[in-house]
Amino acid sequence: MGSHQTVFIVDDDEGVRNGLALLLDAVEQNYELYSSAFDFLKHYDPNKEGCLVLDIRMPRMSGLDLQDQLNQQQSSLPIIFITGHGDIPMAVEAMRKGALDFIRKPFREQELLDRINEALLLNQSQNKSRCYQREQSGRISSLSDRESEIFNRVANGDMNKVIASDLNISERTVEVHRSHVMQKLEVRTLAQLVRIKIEAESLTQA
């Protein structure tokens, strides 16, 4: 399991919290226990990696309410709901709102551990993807106006001589700018350059 990640357990039942704590201790997984959604939100740090094991029915603020709050904050924490028999329609609603899974009480310990492991792997993958996107965005923004122009033209498949003619500069100047673009974006091939352009466009459209 993720040694640097934290499993956040939110359940108003002390017995459930203690049982899950023993289970996670056994597999040496970091965790934090909260008796209410309010308590969790008070300590919530969006920079912490991990997943959330969340009871769907709790007084004052339900698990669904907490999920709504986290969605508004664009939280990336995968959520696994713990549900009673009568909570299945609620759990389905939670899945539609982005929950990773729900587990019915009484649950098998190994089943929950498997789901937690899936959630931690998903969170790790999402965080790596976001980190990569931030790095690429920073590299693209480091391009000068002319380099950015060359980058877009090259990535769109325009030949150097066509770009040179359109911009009224020499083909050699285009090659120099193109070389600088490749260095700044840390790519070696045209295919990699095109890929960065496609990814940047997809992020803009999202």
What percent of the chain clears pLDDT 90, i.e. is strictly above it?
67
Q: What is the pTM of this model?
A: 0.70
- Which fold is adopted by the domain 142-205? Arc Repressor Mutant, subunit A (1.10.10)
Residue intervals in the chain for CATH 3.40.50.2300 = 6-130
The CA distance from 122 to 116, in Å, is 10
Instruction: Express each pLDDT in 90-110 by its tens digit.
Output: 888 899 999 999 998 888 999
Instruction: Express each pLDDT in 53-79 by its tens digit.
Output: 999 999 999 999 999 999 999 898 999
At residue 1 the predicted structure's pLDDT band, cuts being 50, 70 and 90, is low
pLDDT at 133: 81
At residue 40 the predicted structure's pLDDT band, cuts being 50, 70 and 90, is very high
Residue intervals in the chain for CATH 1.10.10.10 = 142-205
Residue by residue, DSSP assigns 147-180 as: HHHHHHHHHTT--HHHHHHHHTS-HHHHHHHHHH
pLDDT at 206: 56
Q: Which CATH number fits domain 6-130: 3.90.800.10, 3.40.50.2300, 3.30.930.10, 3.20.20.70?
A: 3.40.50.2300
pLDDT at 201: 83
Nearest to 199 by CA among 150, 137, 149: 137
